[in-house]
Structure 1
Amino acid sequence: MTQYSTFSLGSHFVNRLGYGAMQLAGPGVFGPPKDRHAAITVLREALALGVNHIDTSDFYGPHVTNQIIREALHPYAEDLVIVTKIGARRGDDASWLPACSPEELKQAVHDNLRNLGVDALDVVNMRMMLGDGHGPCEGSIEEPISVLAELQQQGLVKHIGLSNVTTAQVIEARKIVDIVCVQNEYNIAHRGDDALINALARDGIAYVPFFPLGGFSPLQSSALNEVASSLEATPMQVALAWLLHRSPNILLIPGTSSVAHLRENMAAAELKLSSDVLATLDGIVDNA
């Protein structure tokens, strides 16, 4: 397994280890970064290391990460796929609020187009905010997906994905439009999407896990720490390597605002996990 292993994402094949831009904004993903030059440097280094899949959103900041991406990388390399997401907005207090009306979704697409400096968006994920907004919640997604399908027909969106969704919602969306990726929380200890990942793999659809080490509540696992120590790696590197081994349709988007941390993340693609190590890691789901 190397960082140059690829999988299809829309009309491109991308390296399976990509980059998530969330941490390029300020604290709490709100406002500007402390060091804009450092953020630009990280993006350029990511591409130099082989990244050709960047995950972002115009509600990071808001607007901040997309503007930094444009400053750092525009005009974009032909093989670079920039995936954005819509369906939320930021309150003045930095809160995360749903923004799923047809008018809000259309405005979000136009905001992304303007701030990224493109005529059409490579991939747009519809980020669902049903229930409390923190995890998938059942409910029809026909209206927002139909809005995105209309924008796709207008040539503003090339491909459509989903985020924070249930299996039933994936099925519903695929009856309306082609879906090229699903982005949900999934990691070595949080494996509720196992069946969905397998089903998507059979259909050639990418699965993009977020929070590979637990996100805002980092995973505490002695088994993961012991494996990392034995491999002379970090727990994050091992968690990323496990995800790469989990299924060939998994694309990773670890984020960082540090070049050193970026290089550590990219090195995860070179980790070799033996069958014994994989068995130990597979057992974490029951012990975390």
Structure 2
Amino acid sequence: MRKLIEGQPLRCESMTGLQAGRLADLIDRVREIVGDEWEKPPVGRPHVLPLPTAVIAVLFGLRHNLPDEVLGEVFGCSQATITRYHEILQPILRWVTRPEVDQRLEQTHREGVLVDGFVAPVGERENYHGLFSGKKHVSGQNVQVIADLDGRVADVGEPVNGARHDAAAFFISGIAERWADHLTPGGPGMIGDGGYQGTGPITPHKKPPGGELTAKQKAYNYSVNRLRAAVERAISHLKNWKILKTGYHRIMTAFPDVLRTVTALEIFRTTSPGFE
């Protein structure tokens, strides 16, 4: 812990989800934005934590969904300091990972994609209605995810109240509009599960009432579902950022930005260094 507090992260993969080299690259990019003003601000006192440690604290909080007061105890600072670092560093993290995000989008827009949704738990919130998902039995936000055929996250939509089914959230989230070219005749194509029937993506055949699927339909469904399994892997990796899995407890107005930050970090994590 002493070396961590001194700003010398050595073994932080389990804390941040990033291998040492990727973490060092991310910290260097953040330093290019904030410069020397982090340690030597022109006015006021310097930050309590060195920049590398502050970045790790933010990633640690997102990866493991730890309360700011707990992070403060771990890193030897106040809860207010950790909260402030989230506010300062999350927009910067989204900015410095833009090369990987843009490259993933450009590549995926040329290929077939997969779509699926999950509900990120947020609990009951005052003045927020329609959060409870009867299907998932949890109050949360429906997050629509676009993944490539290798099971890597490419895009997420704007969060939608959890009571909305995927077919509605597909449009409300903006995903249908952003990926409309994939749904046109001759487009790269998009695959979803049965919840997207009639919305545009390729979906498996549903069993007719009182009937059975033909052998040809069963073979077709098998092929579609084999491809579609990759988006479930992508969602599983996205939910390894536990803030999207174990219960979001921060203010609701910040949830869309937290979702964007985590998505950008997951894309950064799954992009090889030195990509072209």
**Same topology, TM > 0.5:** no
Considering fraction of residues, name the structure with more strand.
Answer: 1
Larger Rg: 2
Considering fraction of residues, name the structure with more helix.
Answer: 2
Give the TM-score normalised by structure 2: 0.30
